[in-house]
């Protein structure tokens, strides 16, 4: 932004962007009224030059914040050499990235795609193919109530939230939903006809709820007993967010899935998704049964390789910053009776309120803090893995200010007549 551009012109630049989108884009998003132009570290800047502390990072994507010099260099270097060549041919970085993921996850084989939902879609094809190899009746899938797995028809079919599904039914048949951490319900849902059990290891869109170790262990036992594929959705909680490579690695002893899907931070800002699986699951997909034009492109894979190299040294810091954030949030929450619970898993953080959180998110934007609200009442923070203690302190100071105003919202909320 050049200094001679006036504040009015800056504001109208934002309005031009917003108005053009309103005219020419599908109106499927309810965006916040903010147009962004650039980012640096943990900060984003609006087209008006206003600075925002970014604690949502493109919904858990920009894991190293914005403009990380090593990622910038990898993008620049690779863009000069080769951006895309399709999966008709080999390039240097797909195999290298698969090797790193295999080492980090213990899952021998990878398939690369471009998003989370696409990874889940491929995993569902594996589940169906696995079932068909055994019996035509073996196509059932057990998934979790309150889960979120993406927007394609397959991923919606196993998403346990009616609001995402209802406009698109009928979906894939044979899906049974069980409440998270209800071992008895899980046991009674799984049968010889179950081809796959899909677990979102920490429910993200659902409000930051982790699956318990006992529940995951039971899912593993049932998947072995009934020869069903065990699939973990690590799209939001994986690739470092919990301070380990993949969320399931916090379970001790580690419970290995047959299939794991990951995406969001995988290429630290570029679109990339992965299905990682063991040899048993890999055997369900033969040549020609699945594919992608863009998936695993040279640019995205090179950046992801660079990101993994950085992540290796960053994992302990993610855990430490998560612990620091938890303590600060618990201290803050103690002063506000409208905070129901603080849930912190590495740098995947939910603050559940006893009232809707949308107005607090809007107020936060005013104060230069970007967070979001999921499941109506849960303030969600997915900060960059590189966030500093000083930036966490700053976020807490802003939240304290917002929560003081939040007392009024809570009073108002409680005085409203409750629906019968
Ligand atoms: C757990 C989980 N699964 C799947 C998805 C879908 O991923 P994408 O939006 O990249 O398609 C998301 C996105 O929020 C997610 O959080």
Task: Write the pLDDT tens digit of every residue in 11-28.
Answer: 688 888 888 888 899 999
CA–CA separation, 129 vs 289, rounded Å?
10
CA–CA separation, 18 vs 391, rounded Å?
29
* Residue 263 near ligand 1, beta carbon < 6 Å: yes
Q: Whose CA is nearest to atom 6 of ligand 1?
A: 150
CA–CA separation, 17 vs 33, rounded Å?
10
CB 370 within 8 A of CB 398: no
Angle at 161 (CA atoms; ends 125, 402), nearest 5 degrees:
125
* Residue 236 near ligand 1, beta carbon < 6 Å: yes
Task: Write the pLDDT tens digit of every residue in 42-78.
Answer: 999 999 999 999 999 999 999 999 999 999 999 999 9
* Residue 140 near ligand 1, beta carbon < 6 Å: no
Residue 70 Cα to ligand 1 middle (Å)? 26
Q: Is the peptide bond before 164 cis (omega within 30 degrees of 0)?
A: no
3-state secondary structure the chain: CCCCCCHHHHHHHHHHHHHHHHHHCCCCCCCCCCCEEEEEECEEEECCCCEEEECCHHHHCCCCCECCHHHHHHHHHHHHHCCCCCCCCCCHHHHHHHHHHHHHHCCCEEEEECCHHHHHHHHHHHHHHHHHHHCCCCCEEEEEECCCCCCCHHHHHCCECHHHHHHHCCCCCCEEEECCCCHHHHHHHCCCCEEEEEEECEECCCCCEECCHHHHHHHHHHHHHCCCEEEEECCCCCCCCCCCCCHHHHCCCCCCCCEEEECHHHEECECCEEEEECHHHHCCCCCCCCCCCCCCCHHHHHHHHHHHHHHHHHHHHHHHHHHHHHHHHHHHHCCCCCEEEEEEECCEEEEEECCCCHHHHHHHHHCCEECEEECCCEEEECCCCCCCHHHHHHHHHHHHHHHHHHHHHHHHHHHCCCCC
Most ligand 1 atoms within 8 A of CB, residue of 60, 198, 231, 235 to mutate = 235
CA–CA separation, 372 vs 56, rounded Å?
7
* Residue 149 near ligand 1, beta carbon < 6 Å: yes
Token digits of residue 183: 């071992």
Q: Which ligand 1 atom minimizes the distance to the CA of 204? A: 16
Average pLDDT, integer, range 228-236: 98
Task: Write the pLDDT tens digit of every residue in 357-396.
Answer: 999 999 999 999 999 999 999 999 999 999 999 999 999 9
Q: Whose CA is nearest to atom 9 of ligand 1?
A: 116
Closest Cα partner for 226 from 135, 360, 328, 322? 135
> Facing residues of 352 across strands?
341, 378
pLDDT band per the 50, 70, 90 thresholds, residue 1: very low
Residue 365 Cα to ligand 1 middle (Å)? 24
Q: Whose CA is nearest to atom 3 of ligand 1?
A: 149
Beta pairing, strands 259-262 & 273-277: antiparallel
CB 192 within 8 A of CB 226: yes
Residue 151 Cα to ligand 1 middle (Å)? 8
Residue 138 CB: number of other CB atoms within 10 A?
Answer: 22
Residue 197 CB: number of other CB atoms within 10 A?
Answer: 29
Q: What are the φ/ψ torsions at residue 261 (nearest 5 degrees)?
A: -115, 140
Residue 149 Cα to ligand 1 middle (Å)? 5
Give CA torsion, residues 184, 260, 120, 263, to 10 deg. Answer: 130
Position 315 pLDDT exceeds 70? yes
Residue 334 Cα to ligand 1 middle (Å)? 32
Residue 156 Cα to ligand 1 middle (Å)? 11
- Dihedral angle sign, alpha carbons of residues 229, 295, 286, 156: positive
Most ligand 1 atoms within 8 A of CB, residue of 62, 115, 117, 275 to mutate = 117
Q: Which ligand 1 atom minimizes the distance to the CA of 118? A: 11
Q: Which ligand 1 atom minimizes the distance to the CA of 152? A: 11
Residue 216 Cα to ligand 1 middle (Å)? 20
* Residue 115 near ligand 1, beta carbon < 6 Å: yes
Predicted confidence at residue 126, as pLDDT, reads: 98
Task: Write the pLDDT tens digit of every residue in 244-262.
Answer: 999 999 999 999 999 999 9
Predicted confidence at residue 19, as pLDDT, reads: 87
* Residue 117 near ligand 1, beta carbon < 6 Å: yes
Position 265 pLDDT exceeds 70? yes
* Residue 204 near ligand 1, beta carbon < 6 Å: yes
Predicted confidence at residue 159, as pLDDT, reads: 98
CA–CA separation, 244 vs 201, rounded Å?
13
Query: Whole-number mean pLDDT of the chain?
Result: 96
Position 318 pLDDT exceeds 90? yes
Q: Whose CA is nearest to atom 16 of ligand 1?
A: 236
Task: Write the pLDDT tens digit of every residue in 275-312.
Answer: 999 999 999 999 999 999 999 999 999 999 999 999 99
pTM, whole model, 2 decimals?
0.96
Token digits of residue 78: 């690779």
Longest dimension (CA), the chain: 71
* Residue 78 near ligand 1, beta carbon < 6 Å: no
Q: Which ligand 1 atom minimizes the distance to the CA of 200? A: 1
* Residue 116 near ligand 1, beta carbon < 6 Å: yes
* Residue 233 near ligand 1, beta carbon < 6 Å: yes
Q: Whose CA is nearest to atom 13 of ligand 1?
A: 150
């Amino acid at each position: 932004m050049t200094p001679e551009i006036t504040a009015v012109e800056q504001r109208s630049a934002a309005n031009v962007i917003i108005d053009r989108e309103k005219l020419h884009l599908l109106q499927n998003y309810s965006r916040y009224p903010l147009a962004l132009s650039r980012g640096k570290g943990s900060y984003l800047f609006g087209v008006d030059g206003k600075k925002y502390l970014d604690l949502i990072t493109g919904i858990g994507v920009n894991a190293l914040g914005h403009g990380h010099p090593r990622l910038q260099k990898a993008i620049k270097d690779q863009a000069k050499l080769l951006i895309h060549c399709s999966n008709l041919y080999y390039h240097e970085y797909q195999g290298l990235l698969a090797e790193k993921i295999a080492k980090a996850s213990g899952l021998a084989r990878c398939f690369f795609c471009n998003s989370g939902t696409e990874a889940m879609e491929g995993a569902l094809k594996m589940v169906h193919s696995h079932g068909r190899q055994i019996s035509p009746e073996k196509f059932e899938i057990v998934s979790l109530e309150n889960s979120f797995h993406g927007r394609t028809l397959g991923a919606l079919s196993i998403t346990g939230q009616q609001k995402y599904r209802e406009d698109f039914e009928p979906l894939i048949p044979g899906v049974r939903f069980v409440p998270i951490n209800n071992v008895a319900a899980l046991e009674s849902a799984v049968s010889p006809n179950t081809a796959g059990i899909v677990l979102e290891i920490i429910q993200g869109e659902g409000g930051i709820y982790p699956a318990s170790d006992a529940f995951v262990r039971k899912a593993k036992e049932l998947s072995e007993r009934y020869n069903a594929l065990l699939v973990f959705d690590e799209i939001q909680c994986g690739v470092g967010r919990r301070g380990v490579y993949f969320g399931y690695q916090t379970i001790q002893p580690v419970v290995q899935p047959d299939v794991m899907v990951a995406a969001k931070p995988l290429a630290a800002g570029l679109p990339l998704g992965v299905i990682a699986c063991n040899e048993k699951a890999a055997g369900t997909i033969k040549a020609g049964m699945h594919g992608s034009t863009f998936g695993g492109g040279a640019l995205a894979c090179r950046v992801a390789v660079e990101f993994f190299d950085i992540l290796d040294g960053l994992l302990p810091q993610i855990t430490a910053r998560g612990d620091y954030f938890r303590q600060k949030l618990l201290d803050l929450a103690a002063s506000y009776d409208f905070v129901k619970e603080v849930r912190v898993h590495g740098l995947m953080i939910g603050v559940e309120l006893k009232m809707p959180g949308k107005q607090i998110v809007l107020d936060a934007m005013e104060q230069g803090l970007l967070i979001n609200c999921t499941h109506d009442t849960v303030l969600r923070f997915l900060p960059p893995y590189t966030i500093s203690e000083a930036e966490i302190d700053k976020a807490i100071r802003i939240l304290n200010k917002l929560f003081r105003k939040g007392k009024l919202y809570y009073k108002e909320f409680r005085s409203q007549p409750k629906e019968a």
